[in-house]
């Protein structure tokens, strides 16, 4: 597994993952996310110096998850998503 910084090209992928039924059940809001709202949020997060978003990829470079850190002072709020089709399957690096 490798981590790379997210970029604007990941917007659609993270939109799809965020709207997954299981993710919506665990989110603060269970309502589906609208595309325009997501793109605005994502652009703001990418330009926020207190936010770091990584895309986890497998050995073939395919996205398998997302890791986001929202830094608040000396602490961080951490958000982790895995690709819906990989949930509950276990994944190891190497």
Q: How far apart are the first and last CA of the chain?
A: 7
Q: Is pLDDT above 90 for 11?
A: yes
Does residue 93 carry a pLDDT above 70? no
What CA–CA distance (Å, rounded) separates 94 from 35?
35
Q: In angstroms, rounded to a whole number, what is the distance separating the alpha carbons of residues 78 and 46?
A: 15
pLDDT in tens, 70-90: 999 999 999 888 887 776 666
Average pLDDT of 46-64?
95
pTM recorded for the entire structure: 0.85
Which residues does residue 57 pair with via DSSP β-bridges, in sequence order? 2, 63
Which of 68, 65, 66 shows the shortest CA–CA distance to 85? 65
Domains for the chain: give ranges and CATH numbers: 2-86 (3.40.630.30)
Residues near 88 by Cβ (< 8 Å), separated by ≥ 6?
none
């Amino acid at each position: 597994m490798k981590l790379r910084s997210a970029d604007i090209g990941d917007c659609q992928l993270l939109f799809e993952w965020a709207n997954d039924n299981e993710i919506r059940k665990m989110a603060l809001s269970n309502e589906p996310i609208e595309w325009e709202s997501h793109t605005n949020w994502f652009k703001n997060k990418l330009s926020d110096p207190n936010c770091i978003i990584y895309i986890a990829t497998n050995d073939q470079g395919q996205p398998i998850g997302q890791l986001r850190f929202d830094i608040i002072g000396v602490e961080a709020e951490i958000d982790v998503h895995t690709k819906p089709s990989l949930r509950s399957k276990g994944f190891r690096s190497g």
